[in-house]
């Protein structure tokens, strides 16, 4: 019998009263490793009460003491990076090197939070009138919540928790029900770093718990990362219940390949972008727009690379790509491949026929050519290892094709021409732009979010935006 996961409220394990449970799998083997509660409204209520009780003391704790928790947490995370990466690989499936990098990116957000005293410093303008001074303070909001997706079980909770709590808020995390184990370990280490109980609480669950968060009067702000329809739902519902909200959604990322690209680097970058983490990244390159004569070379080289790609358990050092998250999701991705064929795209390499392990939720890399922008595989987020090649005669036409997408998370150009790169940078509609970079990954000191339907809200994740999101500004005008 797999372990039944408990909520963590005030650093106590709370079994709760869920009536519905879901299995957590090890995707590389298909083994059930835990059971997660889905519908525990009572646990959510307890967590909000605990976080509210903890808020006055935590927000009154000197900023330097709150920041020192971050310094100690950073060191603990570095010491436990390998262990955390193994846990990510176990519950998600991505290869260990990807998992290690993911934890590293999360650690960088903790390093950002170590600069909180500088970031949260206010402003003062003296003598705006005779004897009158005006100052600005940044104050925490109160109880805030984060709702995270399955695909970055370490990094995305760490986008949210460090800036939220170092700013003085208390926090409720609702991790993905498909990858909930890493969050629990992240919280254990946070407590080991000296975080007082009740500052961060974990409530497991699915959509009913999410809806409970979105409508709870005791929660001031919600950070969400997940698929586009849920991001839209979260944004609208939380806003209708008077909450501050940032909701990062799904993606369809276009990579423009120019004839003057550095081919060796381009093929490696595109392979990692399209097939790395089995395509289960919001930054995955899923459409390659080949300009002019780049098309034939791109298809030939990507075909050869896809054939050679080693698919296997992420714990094996030679594996380049792991499994998909669930059997059902693998079947959905296979369904997209079938649909691409039926809509008339040329299936150059069929991942369903790739050499795959017998157990687990594996699917090989797939390559389509002759894709048109109105085909389903060019429009919808597949979230699997499928790359579609669209051919266009010019850079301008390629950018226009990419900009027709309703998503705008990231986009990349491969070129050695400064003129092309500059045109692309200035005309592409995406929040994160790559120039010869396959995955323009989030860098903690910059804001991270897409444009168009890839993002609902104003203030992005990480960077200065994160601190703005988790604080209110108070302006004081005084005369003595």
H-run or E-run covering 261: none
Is there binding between residue 147 and ligand NAD (CB under 6 A)? yes
Please report how close the Cβ of residue 255 comes to ligand NAD at its closest, in angstroms. Answer: 16
To the query of whether residue 282 is one of the catalytic residues in this protein, the response is: yes
- One-character DSSP codes across 43-72: HHHHHHHHHHHHHHHHHHS-HHHHHHHHHH
- Give the separation between CA 343 and CA 352, rounded to whole angstroms: 18
- Give the separation between CA 60 and CA 67, rounded to whole angstroms: 13
Is there binding between residue 153 and ligand NAD (CB under 6 A)? no
For residue 93, give the nearest of 333, 359, 287 by alpha carbon.
Answer: 359
**Secondary structure E strands in 130-238:** 132-140, 143-147, 170-174, 200-202, 221-225
For residue 138, give the nearest of 158, 117, 154, 153 by alpha carbon.
Answer: 117
- Give the separation between CA 413 and CA 199, rounded to whole angstroms: 43
Cβ(357)–Cβ(28) under 8 Å?
Answer: yes
Is there binding between residue 40 and ligand NAD (CB under 6 A)? no
Closer Cβ to ligand NAD, 364 or 408, answer by number:
408
Closer Cβ to ligand NAD, 231 or 398, answer by number:
231
- One-character DSSP codes across 353-365: GS---SSSS----
Closer Cβ to ligand NAD, 291 or 333, answer by number:
333
Q: Which of residues 294-323 bind ligand NAD (CB under 6 A)?
A: none
How many Å separate Cα 15 from the centre of its chain?
28
Is there binding between residue 207 and ligand NAD (CB under 6 A)? yes
Binding letters toward ligand NAD, positions 274-293, x by CB under 6 A: --------x-----------
Q: Which of residues 164-203 bind ligand NAD (CB under 6 A)?
A: 174, 176-177
Please report how close the Cβ of residue 478 comes to ligand NAD at its closest, in angstroms. Answer: 41
Looking at 109-117, 205-213, 384-392, 465-473, which segment touches ligand NAD (CB under 6 A)?
Answer: 205-213
Please report how close the Cβ of residue 450 comes to ligand NAD at its closest, in angstroms. Answer: 5
Is there binding between residue 150 and ligand NAD (CB under 6 A)? yes
Residue 448: DSSP 8-state: B
Binding letters toward ligand NAD, positions 394-423, x by CB under 6 A: ---------------x--------------
Is there binding between residue 101 and ligand NAD (CB under 6 A)? no
- Give the separation between CA 281 and CA 86, rounded to whole angstroms: 18
Is there binding between residue 93 and ligand NAD (CB under 6 A)? no
Dihedral of the CA atoms 423, 427, 430, 432 (nearest 10)? 30
- Give the separation between CA 50 and CA 199, rounded to whole angstroms: 8
Q: Which residue has the tokens 């389903």?
A: 376
Closer Cβ to ligand NAD, 201 or 415, answer by number:
201
**Catalytic option among 221, 222, 282, 386:** 282
- Give the separation between CA 21 and CA 17, rounded to whole angstroms: 11
Is there binding between residue 253 and ligand NAD (CB under 6 A)? no
- Give the separation between CA 346 and CA 390, rounded to whole angstroms: 11
Dihedral of the CA atoms 29, 92, 7, 81 (nearest 10)? 110
Looking at 87-95, 227-235, 238-246, 416-424, which segment touches ligand NAD (CB under 6 A)?
Answer: 227-235
Please report how close the Cβ of residue 247 comes to ligand NAD at its closest, in angstroms. Answer: 9
Looking at 28-36, 184-192, 225-233, 315-323, which segment touches ligand NAD (CB under 6 A)?
Answer: 225-233
Out of 16, 206, 364, 365, name the contact with ligand NAD by CB under 6 A. Answer: 206
User: Which residue's Cβ lies closest to ligand NAD?
Assistant: 226
Out of 28, 87, 251, 399, name the contact with ligand NAD by CB under 6 A. Answer: 251
Sequence-distant (6+) residues with CB within 8 A of 157 are 106, 146, 148, 173, 175, 182, 183, 186
How many Å separate Cα 384 from the centre of its chain?
15
Please report how close the Cβ of residue 231 comes to ligand NAD at its closest, in angstroms. Answer: 7
Is there binding between residue 250 and ligand NAD (CB under 6 A)? yes
Is there binding between residue 450 and ligand NAD (CB under 6 A)? yes
Closer Cβ to ligand NAD, 226 or 457, answer by number:
226
Looking at 78-86, 131-139, 147-155, 395-403, which segment touches ligand NAD (CB under 6 A)?
Answer: 147-155
Per DSSP, the three-state class of 449 is coil
Cβ(157)–Cβ(175) under 8 Å?
Answer: yes
Is there binding between residue 106 and ligand NAD (CB under 6 A)? no
Is there binding between residue 383 and ligand NAD (CB under 6 A)? yes
- Give the separation between CA 219 and CA 241, rounded to whole angstroms: 10
Q: Which residues are annotated as catalytic?
A: 282
Q: Which residues lie near ligand NAD (CB under 6 A)?
A: 147-152, 174, 176-177, 206-207, 210, 225-227, 230, 233, 248-251, 282, 381, 383, 409, 450, 454
């Amino acid at each position: 019998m797999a372990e039944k996961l408990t909520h963590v409220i005030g650093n106590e394990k709370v079994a709760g009263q869920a009536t519905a449970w879901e299995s957590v799998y090890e995707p590389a083997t298909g083994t059930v490793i835990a059971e997660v509660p889905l519908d525990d409204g009572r646990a959510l209520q307890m967590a909000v009460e605990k976080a509210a009780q903890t808020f006055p003391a935590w927000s009154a704790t000197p900023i330097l003491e709150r920041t020192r928790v971050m310094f100690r947490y950073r060191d603990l995370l570095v010491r436990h990076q390998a262990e955390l990466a193994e846990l990510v690989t176990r519950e998600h499936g991505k290869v260990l090197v990807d998992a290690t990098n993911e934890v590293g990116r999360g650690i960088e957000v903790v390093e950002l939070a170590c600069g909180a005293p500088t970031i949260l410093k206010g402003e003062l303008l003296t003598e705006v009138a005779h004897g009158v001074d005006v100052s600005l303070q940044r104050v925490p909001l109160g109880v805030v919540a984060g709702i995270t997706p399955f695909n970055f079980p370490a990094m995305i909770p760490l986008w949210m928790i460090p800036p939220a709590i170092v700013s003085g808020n208390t926090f409720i995390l609702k991790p993905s029900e498909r990858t909930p184990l890493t969050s629990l370990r992240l919280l254990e280490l946070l407590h080991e770093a000296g975080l007082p109980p009740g500052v961060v609480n974990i409530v497991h669950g699915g959509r009913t718990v999410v809806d409970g968060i979105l409508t709870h009067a005791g929660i001031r702000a919600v950070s969400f990362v997940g698929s586009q329809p849920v991001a839209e739902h979260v944004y609208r519902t939380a806003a209708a219940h008077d909450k501050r909200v940032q909701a990062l959604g799904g993606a369809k990322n276009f990579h423009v390949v120019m004839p003057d690209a550095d081919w060796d680097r381009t093929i490696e970058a595109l392979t990692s972008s399209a097939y790395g983490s089995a395509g289960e990244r919001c930054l995955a390159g899923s459409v390659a727009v080949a300009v002019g004569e780049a098309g034939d070379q791109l298809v030939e080289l990507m075909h050869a690379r896809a054939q050679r790609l080693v698919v296997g358990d992420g714990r094996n050092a030679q594996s380049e790509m792991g499994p998909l998250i669930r059997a059902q999701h693998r079947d959905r991705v296979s369904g997209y491949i079938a649909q691409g064929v039926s809509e008339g795209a040329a299936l150059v390499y069929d991942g369903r026929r790739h050499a795959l392990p017998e157990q687990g939720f594996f699917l090989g890399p797939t390559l389509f050519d002759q894709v048109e922008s109105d085909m389903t595989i060019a429009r919808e987020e597949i979230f699997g290892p499928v790359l579609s090649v669209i051919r266009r005669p010019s850079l301008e036409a390629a950018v226009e094709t990419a900009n027709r997408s309703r998503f705008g998370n990231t986009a990349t150009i491969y070129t050695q021409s400064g003129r092309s790169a500059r045109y692309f940078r200035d005309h592409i509609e995406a929040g994160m732009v790559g120039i010869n970079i396959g995955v323009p990954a989030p860098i903690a000191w910059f804001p991270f979010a897409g444009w168009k339907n890839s993002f609902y809200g104003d203030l992005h994740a990480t960077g200065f935006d994160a601190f703005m999101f988790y604080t209110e500004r108070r302006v004081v005008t005084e005369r003595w």
